[in-house]
Amino acid sequence: GAGVSQSPRYKVAKRGQDVALRCDPISGHVSLFWYQQALGQGPEFLTYFQNEAQLDKSGLPSDRFFAERPEGSVSTLKIQRTQQEDSAVYLCASSIRQQETQYFGPGTRLLVL
Amino acid sequence: GENVGLHLPTLSVQEGDNSIINCAYSNSASDYFIWYKQESGKGPQFIIDIRSNMDKRQGQRVTVLLNKTVKHLSLQIAATQPGDSAVYFCAENEWGAQKLVFGQGTRLTINP
């Protein structure tokens, strides 16, 4: 069946631009996660949704980062006024319920110039 | 590739040999552990998981061992194939915390 999909796969932004990254989780998955992966590192947690409720946003690095999942399905991660240090791969994962296996999408590679 | 891996531990094995990838975790409250495989340009792919009430779990060509006493996790891959070349991450999850905490990663290279 269809896995987690993300778009765009690649995004180049000029410093100061706003970007929006989309995640389509596996159909029926209640839990949705965003992670940030720097080059050569493991993914690091950003935020977590259960249905439309954002239950944990402790990993968001600054108030320039904002995530939403208004209908409990598709999620968008928005980064305002992008900085060079925001360059990374942004990964979305979903799981059927809490404490179950998280399945990852292919990621969006963001490059801020 | 995506992971330059300048600081990644590396493991090189001959095709057909068995591979063992190790991981130390830090949170004694973690009760769920997962191994992911990540190929260049792709997201992490689930391989196998284990909960803290077990010390061994087997899948197809893979075995995960958990030693809670020393907080150590290992992934064994039998009869390694070229397609096994990737970066392997262990991840831990504390009950109720939801988020995964990933280890450093190990780059596995298969020599023909």
Digit-coded pLDDT (tens) for B39-82: 999 999 999 999 999 999 999 999 999 999 999 999 999 999 99
Q: For residues A68 and B33, what is the distance between their CA atoms, to the nearest angstrom?
A: 28
Q: For residues B69 and A34, what is the distance between their CA atoms, to the nearest angstrom?
A: 31
Residue of B nearest to A46 (CA): B99
pLDDT beyond 60 at B3 = no
Mutate to test the interface with B, among A99, A100, A108, A111 (most CBs of B within 10 A): A99
Note whether A52 and A69 are within 8 A (CB).
Answer: yes
Determine the pLDDT at residue A1: 55
Nearest-neighbour CA in chain A from B70: distance (Å): 22
pLDDT in tens, B90-104: 999 987 778 999 998
- Does the distance separating the beta carbons of A104 and B105 come in below 8 Å? no
pLDDT beyond 50 at B1 = no
* CB-CB neighbours of B23 under 10 Å: 23
pLDDT in tens, A14-37: 999 999 999 999 999 999 999 999
Determine the pLDDT at residue A52: 96
H or E, element range at B110: strand B106-111
Residue of A nearest to B39 (CA): A106
pLDDT beyond 50 at B4 = no
Say if strands A75-79 and A65-68 run parallel, antiparallel, or are unpaired.
antiparallel
Q: For residues B35 and B64, what is the distance between their CA atoms, to the nearest angstrom?
A: 8
